[in-house]
Structure 1
């Protein structure tokens, strides 16, 4: 599907990866992009230098507040995922009845080929990356885009009808979709997260469900049977539903029984693979693999190709990523554990006494279930960041007293090294975002890895 934006002014809010990709696409289709950057600490030159060289001259840039006069001839607005739809500027745009598209909606209107769209509170990046590798192995040409760090708009015009696009799609990106239509979609799970943005779980879940927007029974949606929200959504999902479960033996779908993954059809089950045949660790990754198999089969990829890719697939960086063994201690980087449910999966993946680094930016989450998951695995919790006092109070409530505060990240890392004994593990899985100390979780994880790799053996 192609929208006609030639000669029309399109307002792009935000100058990050999504904004730059949107500007590039808009220029190529003859639109007149206007970039609005409301962060006044950023200069116009900073923004212009981010843009592609061919986009720098013809793109108007506004830093600060946009006037009503400038809004008067805007035909379309594309806010970056970080911009809430209830932000004051967006509300002004809504009042003027200017259409609002997310970047994925903009890109979809110009892209070609088939679309696989993956969302969920946790597991998106690993699953998207794995499905992308499977699509490349079978179709030869596949694009992996979205919240994974690659602008969908940046690649949209390169696509042809033979392409397959695999998108990691966040709830923020699903707030403003219209024509967007996935041939195959997945909601891996829905647990509390981003409530500072969506305010209620009902609203958050609804945004996730938007990934099935425009799907029909000709399409497929892969859902987690073990998650209450996604299991209930299965009854009203517009697409053909395929469930996966790590807890229940399903009559239809994919499930884990002991150490084996099965595929069941009308009660007839077939063993697909043993979990020790893959390099990924933890039940969360078994679930990701089952979802990837289900989506790939829905795309008519042969099972042999799927299993071959899975057996050779390595963990995604920053997600329960083994870093090194130093002085008999195993170090794991799970910096992408930015909410309690994701961090629970990190804890579950540990099979030895573990020192855990937790804490960070407060997204309004509760930490009870995370603390309860510690069991006998977590021997010591090292707390940092904005949420450390809130987490400590939760620890006290649940009778977990073996925690310490550290003022800096470096102090926390050094303390873990000094406290760990041979046979222990040190796990960075903060259950919080990184924004109080770092620009993103990648920087937090890279700093951890750099520190570990410099330790002597």
Structure 2
């Protein structure tokens, strides 16, 4: 960890707790700042805030009072989930106060090299693949960021010989000032999080911020199958390494003749890759690019790709039981993700879907239901999903109360050779606090068989 004096004897307000807020508060306290923490949850119900009080950190809970801005803070560190429309945050911006997220703190103290990964889909899979490839190739790599481990915690442990592989959301990237990965990846760009961002352009600009501080000595790995993405990053100073699943590239990564190539060098036959789904080829290409730029040998890259079966809750292979293969794709909280999951399979599929009703329909899934022989639907959107299945001409559609009940129902309907796929196309919040909890219930029931 670098020793910095940026925050020494400075008044810093941390807005919002959860894991990132707690880690940022403790780090700033360690760096000599006068830290005040503000969280909406009342102190009596807020174990995290109580623990910070025990560390001697000032805590204000129960609301986000704008009057806090009168206390002369010099920096604001914001939990990524708190929108910039929050009056406390918008007020700080109007006053010209720096509003940061904890990944900026991580960069400021990190001795380790940083690989940063963003995009609408595939971030977690790509981050995990890069992490595995680096470790398989003899480097010590740490995963951090939006994937679950707070970056500024990891940065305190990683040495200059290590690499931090950080998954970055648009929310986190909006709060960077100097953050600069030596290798940046943008997997793809689609409409998303428009309830947080004011427009698709704001969302796109947040994603492109991953490369804004890069120099000619850095690298940007980018999806060349999206012209709008190439245009978005056309002003980058980094060396661009493009990847494509649809065409050969002279200097980049591509798929041709059933293999993956890096700068005309064959890396691996696609048939040897264990991770299912055409959509995962993008993630694999991007990860190979980061590994090759990190001087990882092909042998280590191939070893990962021939054993890695997927990230938990993301088209994750759970088990085979009596000739049926069960996959957990609970992370599919929208139609786009479910389309990708359905496109990964050609065998007869039992689709388990449904969840929080956000008011949208699901007709965009219709072209992807050709291999779906039956649907098990649940949650607030159960009726909408039933109607979708009827439109698609699916003859077997069964309503159940929950994911837990969907497993025995799928077993009853399925036959040897079938795929049983949990890919809800909806958020979990109607019945479960997170998609992880929903996926864990599915895994538990499958393992009971």
State TM-score, norm by structure 2.
0.91
Count residues in correspondence. 446
Is the 1:102–1:173 Cα contact (8 Å) retained in structure 2? yes
2:30 aligns with one of 1, 22, 28: 28
| 1:449 equivalent in alignment to 2:443 | yes
Q: Name the residue aligned to 2:266.
A: 271
Structure 1 residue 356: deviation in Å? 0.9
Structure 2 match to 1:296: 291
The yes-or-no answer on 1:433 pairing with 2:427 is yes
Normalised by the length of structure 1, the TM-score is: 0.89
Of the candidates 372, 395, 416, which is equivalent to residue 422 of structure 1? 416
Q: Give the Å deviation of 1:401.
A: 7.3
SS of 2:93's equivalent in the other structure is helix
Do 1:339 and 1:365's aligned partners in 2 also have CA atoms closer than 8 Å? Answer: no
Displacement, 1:448? 0.2
- Tell me the residue number matched to 2:323: 328
Q: Distance in 1 between matches of 2:426 and 2:280?
A: 20
Question: CA shift at 1:216, angstroms?
Answer: 2.4
Provide the secondary structure at the position in 2 that maps to 1:189: coil
1:360 corresponds in structure 2 to 355
1:141-152 to 2 correspondence within 5 Å? 141-152=140-151
Could you list the per-position Cα deviations for residues 103-156 of structure 1 after superposition, in whole angstroms to 9, with x for gaps in the alignment?
Answer: 111221111231100011111111111111222334532221001100001122
Change (3 A) 1:47 1:83: same
Going from structure 1 to structure 2, the CA distance change for 1:322 and 1:308 (only over 3 Å counts) comes to closer
Separation in structure 2 between the aligned mates of residue 373 and residue 442 of structure 1, nearest angstrom = 25
Aligned partner of 2:41 in structure 1 is: 39
When residues 125 and 366 of structure 1 are mapped into structure 2, their CA distance, relative to the original with a 3 A threshold, is farther
- The CA distance in 1 between the partners of 2:87 and 2:406, in whole Å, is 39
Name whichever of 390-399 and 278-287 sits farther off: 390-399
Following TM superposition, by how much is the alpha carbon of 1:220 offset from its aligned partner in structure 2, in angstroms?
1.0
CA distance in 1, matches of 2:112, 2:291: 16
Report the equivalent of 2:402. Answer: 408
For 1:199 and 1:384, how far apart are their aligned partners in 2?
32
1:211 aligns with: 210
Q: Distance in 2 between matches of 1:131 and 1:77?
A: 32
Alpha carbons of structure 1 residues 49 and 307: separation in structure 2 relative to 1, 3 Å: farther
Structure 1: tracts of 5 or more residues without a match: none
Contact kept, 8 Å, 2:5 with 2:31, in 1: the verdict is no
Deviation at 1:49? 5.5
In structure 2, how many angstroms separate the alpha carbons of the residues matched to 1:226 and 1:5? 43
In structure 1, the residue matched to 2:334 is 339
Q: Specify every segment of 5 or more residues in structure 2 that has no aligned partner in the other structure, as ranges.
A: none
Aligned Cα root-mean-square deviation (Å): 2.5
Give, in whole Å, the separation in 2 of the partners of 1:236 and 1:255.
Answer: 23
